[in-house]
Amino acid sequence: MDRTTIDLWVGIFVALGVAALLGLAMKVGNLTSSQIGPTYSVTAAFENVGSLKPRAPVKSAGVVVGRVDSIVFDSKKFEALVTINIDKRYTFPKDTFANIYTAGLLGEQYVGLEAGGEEDALKNGDKISQTQDAIVLEKMISQFLFSKASEPKSDGKEADSSNKPTEAKATGVKETELGDAPF
Amino acid sequence: MIKSKLLNSLTRTLSGIGYRMIERIWRLGAGARLFFLTIFYSGESFKRFHLTLREIYFTGVMSLLIIVVSAFFVGMVLALQGYNTLQKYGSSEAIGVLVALSLVRELGPVVTALLFAGRAGTAITAEIGLMKTTEQLSAMEMMAVNPIARVIAPRFWAGVISMPILATLFSMVGILGGYIVAVPLIGVDDGAFWSQMQANVDFRLDIVNGLIKSLVFGVACTMIALFEGFDAPPTAEGVSRATTRTVVISSLTVLALDFVLTSFMLVI
């Protein structure tokens, strides 16, 4: 076969490969979406991080503003020390709240930041003091069961608990929902 | 009398096992020696790079059709099967993630390597085996042309270069096939398909690791094909056996290497 034809075909082949890699990187992978600019890091201590992982998103008002950098165990305070990198474009007040939320019922966990009202902004190396732990499903269910067990049996006629039946009903609905969920 | 017969048969069995073992190890050593010689003489063969280009044409470009068509079908089947299970859990939007991750991490590199072993590996073995049978390799040596630099190295580098390109194409075409089944045919939401995929496929951990896998498979498959051809007995039967062995050994090596590589990659 002619040498120039072979060169042409090999060129097409390599170009196709590069195009496919670019397509994978841009359209399939998170190379474009995960790009956050220069960051500053702050730490937050949690008593329980649940299944939070490094590289999990940090969101505020639902917008990704950073990523979790590392999670280490503090053996002095017996807490989890989470370092998060926040995009330099966003500043948060010093009394910002850090919560661990779950996306959906069984989705991945992420750190949610809720801005406080203070004037000073968080700086590199600061520590967020107000945190809320991840919700552990087993704990929640056991709490619910205990509160249910300690409740007097209400048939709606008890005089002292005018709002209890509705509450019990509301939680009762929740229970059946959890029972039906496929896990 | 019976005792000595028993002892004889035992000795024969044991020496048979020993002979096979030694032969395997000898072949492994000879293969490794050929690999290092190939690397060593690569510089010489790169001086005439059009030889490598020619081999890329025969191993890479000519494999495009089988790779693209099978990738398309693999992607479509993945989407169908994945949807069937995922919709039971009410998360049919995750189909994009399922198709992309299975293709990029596993199926892309592995199925490409298996197809490559069947499509290009056999051709390499048969070609080199026949060259040896018809004494072309000896003729080259007589003319002071190094057959490793002239014949083996260009084919080796062609395989190593072609495999990651083919695997990337396989993943991309497979994802397109999955898209065609999931979005227009089944009716999964278009935006959710891509956005869930983008949120869960990591460039470094998934795409680059897949590329590393396919590069390793490329080295393994091409080297096995080259060695089997180079080592084939110079008879018609020998070449045919070597071709069969290329497919069998390549496939087993790819699957075993895949397990080893995956276990290393997931730990990090």
Q: Read out DSSP for A70-130?
A: EEEEETTTTEEEEEEEEETT---BTT-EEEEEESTTTS-EEEEEE--S-SSBP-TT-EE-E
Task: Tell whether B212 lies on the interface with A, counting CB pairs under 8 A.
Answer: no
What is the nearest CA distance from B214 to chain A, expressed in angstroms? 13
Task: Tell whether A33 lies on the interface with B, counting CB pairs under 8 A.
Answer: yes
- The pLDDT-based confidence of A177 (bands split at 50, 70, 90) is very low
Q: In B87-121, which ranges are continuous DSSP H helix?
A: 95-101, 108-116
The reply to whether residue A20 touches residue B199, judged by beta carbons under 8 angstroms, is no
- Higher pLDDT pick, A176 / B130: B130
pLDDT given at position A107: 67
The reply to whether residue B206 touches residue A29, judged by beta carbons under 8 angstroms, is yes
Contact A54, A69 (CB under 8 A): yes
Q: Is the pLDDT of residue B166 over 60?
A: yes
Q: Is the pLDDT of residue B172 over 90?
A: yes
What is the nearest CA distance from A45 to chain B, expressed in angstroms? 25
- The pLDDT-based confidence of B179 (bands split at 50, 70, 90) is very high
Counting residues of chain A whose pLDDT is more than 90, the rounded percentage is: 7
CA dihedral (A163, A168, A169, A171) in degrees, to 10, reads 130
- In chain B, what residues touch A183 (CB-CB under 8 Å)? none
Q: Residue A28 is nearest to which of B53, B64, B100, comparing CB atoms? A: B100
pLDDT given at position A3: 83
Inter-helix orientation angle B153-180/A3-23, to 10°: 50
The reply to whether residue A28 touches residue B50, judged by beta carbons under 8 angstroms, is no
| Nearest partner of B243 among B110, B124, B113, B132, judged by Cα | B124
B211-229 pLDDT, tens digit each? 999 999 999 999 999 999 9
Mean pLDDT of A97-102: 87
Q: Is the pLDDT of residue B19 over 90?
A: yes
Mean pLDDT of chain A: 78
Contact B124, B131 (CB under 8 A): no
Inter-helix orientation angle A3-23/B49-59, to 10°: 60
Counting residues of chain B whose pLDDT is more than 70, the rounded percentage is: 99
Q: Is the pLDDT of residue B99 over 80?
A: yes
pLDDT given at position B121: 95
Task: Tell whether A14 lies on the interface with B, counting CB pairs under 8 A.
Answer: yes
- The pLDDT-based confidence of B155 (bands split at 50, 70, 90) is very high
Entry pTM: 0.74
pLDDT given at position A34: 54
DSSP readout, B145-203? --HIIIIIHHHHHHHHHHHHHHHHHHHHHHHHHHHHIIIIII---HHHHHHHHHHH--I
Task: Tell whether B198 lies on the interface with A, counting CB pairs under 8 A.
Answer: yes
At a CB cut-off of 8 Å and minimum separation 6, what does A29 contact? B198, B201, B202, B203, B206, B207
Task: Tell whether B101 lies on the interface with A, counting CB pairs under 8 A.
Answer: no
Q: Residue A13 is nearest to which of B50, B56, B175, comparing CB atoms? A: B56
Q: Residue B171 is nearest to which of A24, A30, A31, comparing CB atoms? A: A24
Q: Is the pLDDT of residue A91 over 60?
A: yes
pLDDT given at position B205: 85
Mean pLDDT of A65-75: 87
- Higher pLDDT pick, A119 / B123: B123
Counting residues of chain B whose pLDDT is more than 90, the rounded percentage is: 78
At a CB cut-off of 8 Å and minimum separation 6, what does A162 contact? none
pLDDT given at position B91: 82
The reply to whether residue B201 touches residue A14, judged by beta carbons under 8 angstroms, is no
- R_g of chain B computed on alpha carbons: 23
Contact A100, A133 (CB under 8 A): yes
Mean pLDDT of chain B: 92
- The pLDDT-based confidence of B34 (bands split at 50, 70, 90) is very high
What is the nearest CA distance from B243 to chain A, expressed in angstroms? 25
What interface predicted TM-score (ipTM) does this complex get?
A: 0.82
Task: Tell whether B57 lies on the interface with A, counting CB pairs under 8 A.
Answer: yes
The reply to whether residue A9 touches residue B104, judged by beta carbons under 8 angstroms, is no
